[in-house]
Amino acid sequence: MSKRQMIIGMHLGNGYGALAEAWRMPGVDPRAYTSFDAKVRQAQAAERGKFQFLFLPDGPHAAGGDIRYEPSGFNLDVMMTLAAVARGTERIGMVATGSTTFNEAFNLARHFKALDIMNHGRTGWNAVTSASPEVAANYGQRIPSSADRYGRAHEMIQIVQALWGSWGKDAWVADPETGEYAKDEEIAPINLGGEFVASRGPLYIPPSEQGQPVIFHAGGPSPNALSLAGRYASGFIAAAFTIEEARAQRRAFREATERAGRDPDEIKFFPGLMTTIAKDKRAALDRRITLTGRMFPQRAMYLQQMLGVRIDPARLDDPLSPEQLSRAHAAGGDPRAVRALEVARDGWSLRDVLAHGVIDYQPVVVGPVTEVADHMQEWFEAEAADGFWVIPDVYEGGLDAFVDGVVPILQERGLFHLDYEGTTLRDHLGARPQYGVDARVTG
């Protein structure tokens, strides 16, 4: 029996990397935000590392801090970027967010299915509701209630999948000899209409090599998210700070999948992992100080809350005093506090505590390649993950360090495949094929 192996996706955001000052780093194109070439190169590097997919989150709105000093975290346009990436890569899958709240079903179905044709069956749709008022404002609207958002999300996914399946597996003939172009009886309107979304169809796009795109979901384990992802998702993009939290989330999504009548192995669970890699711990911490140091005074205030002791932002070069350490505790219920306390107790200066990434949106490993591989192995073997979505600190440099440093270690340990097993995203995930009309007719 073959050993269970992990699946790796790479975050692809604004083109620089995930950290505030990434765009200024040596070796990074400061104009990567509008450079499709840069994104294609980054995708090619991930493909060199045999990553199974790219993940492009999206608002659409401006994500991030102060535009005077740092770019929006999101991609210029996820569909246009993926079209470029599709034309510049051969095997890697590509998963983009498409809001179920602020898209017309027919438009979204068409863009994603066309991409799936273009990349020969390597597309996934991260179907999430939009919960941010900033996104709603771009559409001149307000954010609906959770019930309405998720009600619409169910209809969107059903209608989009039906549009994707408008053409049966063998509907497209295109035989110049006989003059037969398509089998009319295998192309059907969908005529679906719910409370929020409706479409008649059909969508005039034949099946791709994987039939149709794969459904992903991203978020936390809210009851609505559990039932949506449990019903439709083949991949779940998660945020979890500890092994325990990730195991609990993974278990909850597997149970939700089972409740929806599916095999729990059909949903793959991917917690995030940010990396800052250098030859040793000290060099990696220094790299991260360069990349995020500007935020440290502000983050020191969070750290004070997390540890329940007063911190002087002017004295970040000192470690916590023995007196402070005796009073410090994981305060305020933030799951990151436990790790922050651990690092502080190891005697690092406060600057280095922050440089460990104890306050960030995802778990962070700052260190040499083996430390990254160890983290992944530990989470994977504890059944806290089926794989990861990896967020390199900087694209190109920081990504290359992962691809050329961490991947070979995982492969040596038998934890990661040596090459792609197939050509489609469904192949990469082990998700079953999904076609249209004829499948519906013949069951």
Ligand X SMILES: Cc1cc2nc3c(=O)[nH]c(=O)nc-3n(C[C@H](O)[C@H](O)[C@H](O)COP(=O)(O)O)c2cc1C
Q: Per the annotation, where are the binding residues?
A: 58, 97, 150, 222
**Identity at 394, one-letter amino acid code:** V
Q: Could you give the string, one character per residue 165-204, with x where binding to its own copies holds by CB under 8 A and - elsewhere?
A: ---------xxx--xxxxxx--x-----x---xxxxxx-x
Q: CB count, 10 Å around CB of 412?
A: 10
Shortest approach of ligand X to residue 420 CB, angstroms?
25
Work out the angle at residue 279's Cα, subtended by the Cα atoms of residues 276 and 285, and round it to the nearest 5 degrees.
Answer: 45
Lookup: tokens for 355: 């440089």
Q: CB count, 10 Å around CB of 320?
A: 22
Q: Could you give the string, one character per residue 291-330, with x where binding to its own copies holds by CB under 8 A and - elsewhere?
A: ----------------------------------------
133 contributes a contact to ligand X by CB under 6 A: no
The structure tokens 């990151």 sit at: 336
List the one residue from 11, 17, 70, 97 that touches its own copies (CB under 8 A).
70
**Between residue 27 and residue 66, which ones bind its own copies under the rule CB under 8 A?**
30-31, 33-34, 36, 60-62, 66
Q: Which is nearer to ligand X, 245 or 383 (CB)?
A: 245
Distance set, CA 309 to CA 45, 209, 304, 326 (Å): 43, 58, 5, 10
Task: Quote the CA–CA distance of 372 and 374 in Å, as a whole number.
Answer: 5
The Cβ-side half-sphere exposure at 150, using a 13 Å CA radius, reads 14
List the one residue from 222, 321, 326, 370 that touches ligand X (CB under 6 A).
222
Q: CB count, 10 Å around CB of 285?
A: 23
Beta carbons of 424 and 307 less than 8 angstroms apart: no
136 contributes a contact to ligand X by CB under 6 A: no
Nearest to 299 by CA among 286, 281, 316, 285: 316
Q: Could you give the string, one character per residue 225-254, with x where binding to ligand X holds by CB under 6 A and - elsewhere?
A: x-----------xxx---------------
Q: How many residues bind ligand X (CB under 6 A)?
A: 20
Strand partners, 90: none
The binding site for its own copies (CB under 8 A) comprises 21, 23-25, 30-31, 33-34, 36, 60-62, 66-72, 74, 76-77, 79-81, 83-84, 87-88, 102-107, 110-111, 113-115, 117-118, 137-141, 174-176, 179-184, 187, 193, 197-202, 204-206
The binding site for ligand X (CB under 6 A) comprises 57-59, 97, 99, 128-131, 146, 218-220, 222, 224-225, 237-239, 272
